[in-house]
A and B are shown apart, each in its own frame.
Chain A
């Protein structure tokens, strides 16, 4: 298999919450149209790293980074980058489903509306398209104008993915997207991730080793703010080169 292009790249990245160094000298490249999984024990910095990739940590007082993060070769922490534009390119799905307290329709088209798109037919078409992509269309097409909060947790999470897809990002970041969901909803989302990687670059944080094994192409193992090992998922799971990785994936420490 030919090596894919590099979509996202961190170079010697350090990140701090005040004096606390949460990420230490991370260098990693994420392939385009592939799924990269971040695994590691709680508090090792997976979310912190994921959230530097769309600058979601900008709002935390005292947070700062050193080093570079490159999206398509361009530094996203550059002064000339507009964060709102960046996030249209790098979408995010959170641990807990977080639909807006609006209708299903308003949720899906939110991103388009804030870009100034008003044409109703266009919005409806876009909504249907993203809802079909997330296999939610059949379930919600008759209640598009009902509150999104009335959906089940799994449906809400797929709605949040549809909402992210509607603005056609090229990268989707997912922070433990199934940890709050039941096994059936989880399976649906995993299937969806598998579909989505045809068109999107996906980075997913997960505590579920089987999930990382099932959905990802590459896996990065973090420990105490350091990137310990990174490579093909198959390699990491079958013959990790580092003892800590080995111990973690076999469940000897958590």
Chain B
């Protein structure tokens, strides 16, 4: 083998190893710091306590309010992004002329490149005031507009991954459907979408994972008040927002308050890790089905 090939191979190996080491390092830091936390606060308290007030005099360490806030904003985001994204994917695949597709696809990608801080301010200063005209009880900071704007942000993720999944369905299936007298709508939703369902589900899971980890939009527009509620109209706090709040605050390094962010971090990590694994598993399980 040529020397240059050896060097390239070595570099590839090195970058793979570095990635793995960094991942292990992150998990190590998360674990070691949160062990200190869980020596003081029991796991049972962490999971069952209904309040999260580590920065107050009367400290309570229940993660559930943060989990609830995270799930609430994520749910709203997906409720917006899935129908929109899937409709766009189906439209681009089954209805749009080729030229239209060439224009719309890159435009959608632009949505994904807007900095999230811009989305955050958009939610706070445009969407919330707009919604308040219809929903009088809507607080200035709320899960609803943060979630909706986050949904807009992840539309391109769902639409482009779903579009890939739908266009990977063999053309012969589309022809079979049309050949049986299906309308475009029947072909799209009766044959193409089900045949692409594993890819679509994967896109949704990755989108959930993205929404769970999203920080800026919720930090700006959803408030910073941990609250165990599923009411989208009031201020809440997500796991990510809490981490930002403490990181930017002045809690002393090494204190219990400081360690809470690692406990919150590991909770977040468990969520996204599980989601990514599920999507990986679905991809593997179903990908050989139509070749």
A interface residues, Cβ below 8 angstroms from B: 54, 56, 59, 61, 83-88, 91-92, 94, 96, 98-102, 110-111, 114-115, 149, 160, 163-164, 167
Contacts and interface: CB of A to CB of B under 8 A. Distances in A.
A94 B175 contact: yes
A166 B179 CA distance: 13
A87 B172 contact: no
The 9 closest A-B CB pairs, nearest first, are A98-B172, A88-B181, A92-B179, A87-B181, A111-B180, A98-B176, A84-B181, A114-B186, A84-B183
Contacts, number: 65
B101 to A, nearest CB: 11
B230 interface: no
Interface string B190-208: 1100110000000000000
Interface in B173-187: 173, 175-183, 186
Nearest to A160: B176
B97 interface: yes
Contacts of B115: none
B179 A56 contact: yes
Contacts of B97: 61
28 contacts: A54-B179, A56-B175, A56-B178, A59-B178, A61-B98, A84-B181, A85-B181, A87-B179, A87-B180, A91-B179, A92-B175, A92-B179, A94-B172, A94-B179, A98-B173, A98-B175, A100-B173, A100-B176, A100-B177, A101-B195, A101-B290, A110-B180, A110-B190, A111-B181, A114-B183, A115-B181, A163-B180, A164-B179
A167 B180 contact: yes
A111 B176 CA distance: 10
A91 B170 contact: no
Residue of B179, B183, B191 with highest tally of chain A CB at under 10 A:
B179
Interface string B75-115: 00000000000000000000001100000000000000000
Residue of A84, A86, A92 with highest tally of chain B CB at under 10 A:
A84
- Sorting the interface of chain B by its residue count into under 10, 10 to 19, 20 to 34 or 35 or more gives 20 to 34
A163 to B, nearest CB: 7
Residue of A59, A88, A149 with highest tally of chain B CB at under 10 A:
A59
A98 B194 CA distance: 15
B6 interface: no
Contacts of A114: 180-183, 186, 190
A127 B178 CA distance: 20
B289 interface: yes
Nearest to B180: A111
A88 B191 CA distance: 17
Contacts of B170: 98
Contact of B178 (A87, A96, A110): A87
Given A100-B173, A114-B182, 13 more contacts: A56-B175, A84-B181, A87-B181, A94-B175, A99-B176, A100-B177, A100-B191, A101-B290, A110-B177, A110-B180, A111-B180, A114-B181, A114-B190
A96 B172 contact: yes
A93 B173 CA distance: 12
A77 B93 CA distance: 24
Given A101-B290, A114-B190, A84 B175 contact: no
Interface in B233-291: 289-290
Contacts of B177: 100, 110
A163 B182 CA distance: 13
Contacts of A115: 181
Nearest to A101: B195
B182 to A, nearest CB: 5
Nearest to A115: B181
A101 B289 contact: yes
Contacts of A163: 176, 180
